[in-house]
Amino acid sequence: MSDLFFWKQWPASYRNIYLTSLAVSTIGLVIYLIWFFTGNDAVIGWQTRSELQSLSLQLNSFSRSLFNFTVETPSYFITEQFVASLAKINTLAVYIYLAFLTGACLLVLSLITELPRLWYILGMGVFILLLASFKFDLLQVFGLRNNTVFIVSVAAYAGLSYYFHAFQTEISFQLRLASFTVLTVVLALLIIFFSRSAYPLITLAGNGIIIPVGISLVFIFMVSHEIEQGFLYLVTQSGGIGGKNSLLHFSLISLIYIINLGLLYARNAGFISWDFFYINPFYLLLISAAIGIWGYKKRNVLFDHIISFYPNGAFLYLALATVSLATIGYFFASGNDSMLEMIEDIIVFSHLAMGVSFFIYVFINFRSPMSQGLLVYKVVYQPRQYPFFIARGVALLIILAFFFRANMYPMYHAFSGYYNVIADTHTLQGEQVLAEQYYKLSIQYSFQNHKANYALASQARLQNDAPTAIFYLKQAQLKNPTAYTYGSLSNVYLEKGLFFDAIFNLQQGVQSFPRSGELYNNLALLYGRSNIADSAYIYHQLADKYVGVNAETSQTNRLAFWIKNNSLINTDSLLESSSASNSVPLQANRLLLSNMHGLKSSDFLKEFLPADSILSEETFAYLFNHVLNAHTPYDSTLANYLLGISKKDGNVAFSENLQFALACYEYYKNDRSKALELVANVSMSSNRAAYFSKIAGLWFLQQQAPKRAGEFFLQAIQAGDSSLAMKTNQAVAFSENGQWLNALASWQPLATSPDPSTRSLAKYMETISGALLSGQEEFVSKALDDRGKSLMVYFSRGVLLPDVALSITNPEYRVQTLVNLAEKCIAIDSVSFAATLLEKARETPNLSQTLQNRLHALDLQLLLATRAYPQVLSKAKSLSLNPEDADRSLLWQAQAFGQTNQPKEASRLYALALKRMPADTAVILEASRFFNTVRKKPDLAYSTLLEATLLNPYNPEIQKAYILQCLDMQLLSYAENAMSILQQIATDADYQSFLPVYEARKSSVEKILFEWK
């Protein structure tokens, strides 16, 4: 154990320094391993590029007779593509490397002052070369562009060193180390605070890389036989596995090791391409370096006359190991594959050459002692026939043979790697032109090196130079490709519109990197874009499997896939698997998927939205989809928030969509008059006027304001929507409003439409329009089939046509027609006939739920008409109703509460009914009557009627009520203005019949006003 923990025998002062140095070297080894496994991830990373996509989502549907209308809106989802970042400089790695290099140099400076003069001079010479390589003049310390700082540094270090070496030889090692540390700290502070370079320390590290690389190569060769020495120790130690057969065992183990190294060399040289387990050369170096801590102690007999192992030799070894591991680790962390390739070659060359030479050395010198089972490992560096330095020399000759056999490529790779380091330094300084030239120099020495090619491609991408970027990225893929090069190249192809090139490139990428979830993700998106759903699904599955820390991005895209390919088997489980995520794109897609399947969304999380309220595509999609969720309760705070952010300058791109979202929010959950006003305003100022006008028209049509709807349908047509559906909408609006001349003119061209469904309905309506214009409804109905008769009864507003309705035999048409006819009868107080029609409708078996719900609504209307108010209130809560009838039931319940002396509840329901049906004639008239007569609030009645006339200025009945309300409130000028409007919107007969009423009421008011005077 004393040999294993040899430092325990040392004095505490040296032991503590050694253990500290050993700990630092161990940390360096750990960092080496971290950067080894990190690789190019330290300088290139995956970023996500979001794309906002939309699909049409049905908000609701309604019908007018046999015409069905669907209100749809674009809803938004996010796809996220992985984009390889531009090449970046790993500044943290440079600082860590520089820290380890500085610590090792301080240790070496302290110990070489105790060496003999010749070796002291050589050691200081190497250190001065290191200082010269730093090129202090480039730092412009104090603005100096000459070698002043270098000369001062050399003088300071050399002077202090020589003082310790020649004059104060008795000073302790600790004091020497502290002195050099103080000097170095002072120099570093001067450089940091007085250099004109933006990154002075990084500039030093980059320029001074040559000496550390040289030290690393020396160290690699120095420890290249340590693994075989370890074998020797295992087979010859006391009680070990060898005994008298130790020579055989050593030979077998060594030959296996050498053969493996030979195969590794052959593979790297391109002689073989076998699928075989090869030892990673960088692992060999780590193992050799670790064993060398004890192996170097055994070699003390070879150089004890120069530097004894205790303590300076041990310190020197740790310093060399630290510099080597830190330097190689820095190359890993900076992605400098040229330099790493050179070092890998040197490791293989050295270990193979020294492995063969050391085996021969042991065989020649110790075959006899090993056959006798002696402890050869103790005297392995005390040969009798074949000196160790000759073994080293033979190994060097073999290494030179390998070097020239490789056409000196390791040297070219070293030059290439050096220029990569210098180019990185200039890149960090913002000197892109110089950086580009050094990267191109690097390519001249190793044209396939990944680092330089990727860096030049990054510069080309910044300059939007796609051809140049493609050239360098292809070159980067030739020898040391990464998933990043494939990802970056496919993105450049896509930017150039080369879709299939992007797919083929990603296919090659997943073949080379079958565990790259990012490449699978991008490939899935491309197949999804080309509508190859099965391939997209497979690649989404593979992305989920391999994407690792970017799992939320993969889940976001998987949800997007199912949104576009709406064929889910189990929506709930898919949504549940992503419920806990805080990813805004993922939650946006979850919301849309919930909306598509009518599911309740998760609670709204305002923390997902930016503090400054400036939306990104992701936050916009999340907010929009949340607002449209059918199960989201109305929240006035959210409504105000939507209105506020829609007016922010930073949200201009989303402004009209936010206002439309607010309109939808109000229309389906709160105040439809606000919604209609919002969508009308958006339609006038949007570049999507056709769409918003269509929505406004549909909503007004649903709210029983057909002429207002027709205005918006016309706007939509004028804005560019000349589709059959829009022309049909306009024709229906004319028909609903009783504008039969316009209706006939609209239906006639549709009757020759190529669409069979549109053509069929248009032919019916063309016939019906002509019949209504000529007053021959009943005569024409005899020639119509059940569908035509149903339409005739519905649109014959002045004639009931009960015989026509009862002649219909188709169950669906018959029930629907009887219900429509019964509602007309109730409107003219023909309640008993309405009840008869209801009974006949119920005779039809197997009614759909929709028709059953219509009959329930008719039940409530009959109960109201027969003044069965308590029954109205009880049945309204128990009967199932269609959505529109559920809104209308608010009016029926309000009337019932008003008639049962419950004004407070009636007021609440009237107010709610006005929000849900702001253009409904019955609601407005009944509510204003209630406010006038029961609540005694004429101002409230007036505002109700005024808002209704502003919302729908084409309703004569509401306009009449408004005129009378103005007269009752002695607003004569308002009444006169309203009369001029009524004259324009009412028929002559209707206007003339109302005129005496107006004049009489006006005279009465004028008389009262006159008496007051």
DSSP string, 13-57: HHHHHHHHHHHHHHHHHHHHHHHHHHGGGGT--EEEEEEEEEEEE
Lowest mean pLDDT among 375-379, 790-794, 942-946: 375-379
φ, ψ dihedrals at 83, nearest 5° = -120, 125
CATH of the domain at 931: 1.25.40
Is the Cβ–Cβ distance between 782 and 818 less than 8 Å? no
For position 602, what pLDDT does the model report?
65
* Residues in a beta bridge with 71: 60
Is the Cβ–Cβ distance between 722 and 752 less than 8 Å? no
Q: Does residue 653 fall inside a structural domain?
A: no
Q: Looking at the structure, do residues 226 and 189 belong to the same domain, yes or no? A: no
Interval 755-766 mean pLDDT: 92
What is the rounded CA–CA span in Å between residue 296 and residue 434?
A: 44
Is the Cβ–Cβ distance between 660 and 692 less than 8 Å? yes
What percent of the chain has a predicted confidence (pLDDT) above 90? 69
Angle at 164 between CA 159 and CA 169, to 5 degrees: 155
* Residues in a beta bridge with 51: 79
Is the Cβ–Cβ distance between 236 and 250 less than 8 Å? yes
Q: Closest Cα to residue 814, out of 39, 66, 80, 87?
A: 66
Interval 329-349 mean pLDDT: 95
What is the rounded CA–CA span in Å between residue 341 and residue 357?
A: 24
- How is residue 70 annotated by DSSP? E
For position 243, what pLDDT does the model report?
61
pLDDT at 239 over 70: no
Q: Which of the two residues, 1 and 722, has the higher pLDDT score? A: 722
Q: Looking at the structure, do residues 365 and 239 belong to the same domain, yes or no? A: yes
Interval 93-114 mean pLDDT: 93
Q: Examine residue 903 and say whether the peptide bond preceding it is cis (omega within 30 degrees of 0).
A: no
For position 701, what pLDDT does the model report?
94
Q: Looking at the structure, do residues 221 and 203 belong to the same domain, yes or no? A: no
Residue pointed to by tokens 């450089």: 191
Q: Does residue 125 fall inside a structural domain?
A: yes
pLDDT digit string (tens) for 380-436? 888 888 999 999 999 999 999 999 999 999 999 999 999 999 999 999 998 999 999
Q: Looking at the structure, do residues 181 and 224 belong to the same domain, yes or no? A: no
pLDDT digit string (tens) for 133-174? 999 988 889 888 888 999 999 999 999 999 999 988 888 888
For position 327, what pLDDT does the model report?
95
Interval 750-767 mean pLDDT: 92
DSSP 518-540: HHHHHHHHHHHHTT-HHHHHHHH
What residue numbers bound the domain in which 301 lies? 213-262+279-415
Q: Looking at the structure, do residues 176 and 238 belong to the same domain, yes or no? A: no
DSSP 776-798: -HHHHHTTS-HHHHHHHHHH-SS
Overall domain count for the chain = 3
Q: Which of the two residues, 579 and 88, has the higher pLDDT score? A: 88
Interval 719-748 mean pLDDT: 94
pLDDT at 863 over 90: yes
Interval 652-668 mean pLDDT: 92
Close Cβ partners of 464 (under 8 Å, ≥ 6 residues apart): none
Q: Does residue 954 fall inside a structural domain?
A: yes
Interval 185-207 mean pLDDT: 92
Confidence bin at 579 (pLDDT 50/70/90): low
Domain-ending residue, one of 378, 400, 415: 415
pLDDT digit string (tens) for 683-723? 887 788 999 999 999 999 999 999 999 999 999 999 999 99
What percent of the chain has a predicted confidence (pLDDT) above 70? 97
| N residues, the chain | 1013
For position 1, what pLDDT does the model report?
46
Q: Looking at the structure, do residues 219 and 319 belong to the same domain, yes or no? A: yes
Interval 39-59 mean pLDDT: 91
Burial bucket for residue 361 (CB in 10 Å: 0-12, 13-18, 19+): buried
pLDDT at 570 over 70: no
- Specify the 3-state DSSP secondary structure of 74: strand
Print burial letters for 839-860: b (CB count within 10 Å at least 16), e (below 16).
Answer: ebbeeeeebeeebebbbbbbbb
Q: Does residue 516 fall inside a structural domain?
A: no
Q: Looking at the structure, do residues 218 and 197 belong to the same domain, yes or no? A: no
Q: Tell me, what amino acid is at 113?
A: T
Is the Cβ–Cβ distance between 261 and 355 less than 8 Å? yes
Q: Does residue 196 fall inside a structural domain?
A: yes
Interval 719-743 mean pLDDT: 94
Is the Cβ–Cβ distance between 948 and 924 less than 8 Å? yes
Q: Does residue 564 fall inside a structural domain?
A: no
Q: Looking at the structure, do residues 255 and 389 belong to the same domain, yes or no? A: yes
Is the alpha carbon torsion for 404, 407, 411, 417 positive or negative?
A: negative
Q: Does residue 896 fall inside a structural domain?
A: no
Residue pointed to by tokens 């004393």: 2
Interval 447-469 mean pLDDT: 94
Interval 964-983 mean pLDDT: 93
What is the rounded CA–CA span in Å between residue 487 and residue 91?
A: 24
The two tokens of residue 614 are 């400036």
Is the Cβ–Cβ distance between 71 and 59 less than 8 Å? yes
pLDDT at 760 over 70: yes
pLDDT at 567 over 80: no
For the entire predicted model, the pTM comes to 0.84
Long-range contacts at 597-601 (CB < 8 A, ≥ 24 apart): 597/568, 597/571, 598/630, 599/571, 599/572, 599/575, 599/631, 600/629, 600/631, 601/625, 601/626, 601/629, 601/631, 601/632
Q: Looking at the structure, do residues 180 and 143 belong to the same domain, yes or no? A: yes
Q: Looking at the structure, do residues 246 and 338 belong to the same domain, yes or no? A: yes
Angle at 828 between CA 825 and CA 834, to 5 degrees: 20
The two tokens of residue 760 are 């069929």
Distances (CA, A) of 198 to 42, 94, 193, 424, 436: 22, 15, 10, 14, 19
Interval 766-777 mean pLDDT: 91
Q: Looking at the structure, do residues 257 and 245 belong to the same domain, yes or no? A: yes
pLDDT at 240 over 60: no
For position 578, what pLDDT does the model report?
65
Q: Closest Cα to residue 228, out of 359, 321, 377?
A: 359
Domain-ending residue, one of 415, 447, 478: 415
Q: Looking at the structure, do residues 183 and 332 belong to the same domain, yes or no? A: no
Q: How high does pLDDT run on average in the chain? A: 90
Q: Does residue 122 fall inside a structural domain?
A: yes
Domain-ending residue, one of 392, 415, 438: 415
pLDDT digit string (tens) for 926-948? 999 999 999 999 999 999 999 99
Lowest mean pLDDT among 89-103, 363-377, 411-425, 994-1008: 363-377
| DSSP H or E stretch at residue 77 | strand 67-84
Confidence bin at 238 (pLDDT 50/70/90): low
